[in-house]
Amino acid sequence: MDNKFLDSIAKSFNTEMPAAETLDEYLDKVLKVVRPWSEDLKETSFYIGKHWIEVRDDEKFHSVVMHIFNEDGEYIRVVDGDLSSGEWRYLGNKLVFEDEVFELAFMDPEFFILTKHGNPRKFGRRYYVYVAERLAKRFTWRELVELLFNKYRDNNNFYLTISVIIILIIAIIFLLS
């Protein structure tokens, strides 16, 4: 009995990166576990004024696409140095830009992951992944997904460690009384 309990605690500390082949497949699995740490789309300070680089797993996609959402509703898209501009707006927990409507899948200071509103089977990809410029320049898409997953693993390990310590303290108090 004791070994199974200790094994289950040890196993929870060794959370493995799920296996997948494509960016969408990885995100289907990873987002399920990291979503509790996501910010809300109405918290515009997480994405306004930042340089977000688009990340894809498409072997034919070699452009550097930067997305910038400015405070006054201005949207800037830079593709390999060529600038185009438009407008963006927050609309009832959705983000509208490039004449499309997106919903939030995950957001923190380094990752901004959206899904297009509507039937995902009609789209070529499920997730629109934007990453802070400093990270996008250093990592491949697989490394970025692993980085996102490791954030969860680190947060999860912290909470598990605190839980184990609290259980041990309660057990010691119970044994001493």
pLDDT value of residue 171: 76
> Considering only CA atoms, which of 57, 76, 49, 54 is closest in space to residue 65?
54
CATH class entry, domain 2-176: mainly beta
Cβ contact 160:41 at 8 Å: no
**Beta-sheet pairing, 65-69 with 74-79:** antiparallel
109-168 pLDDT, tens digit each: 999 999 999 887 788 899 999 999 999 999 999 999 999 998 876 555 555 566 667 777
Q: Which residue ranges make up each domain of the chain?
A: 2-176
The pTM for the full model equals: 0.78
Cα–Cα separations (whole angstroms), residue 98 to 55, 69, 78, 133: 17, 12, 13, 20
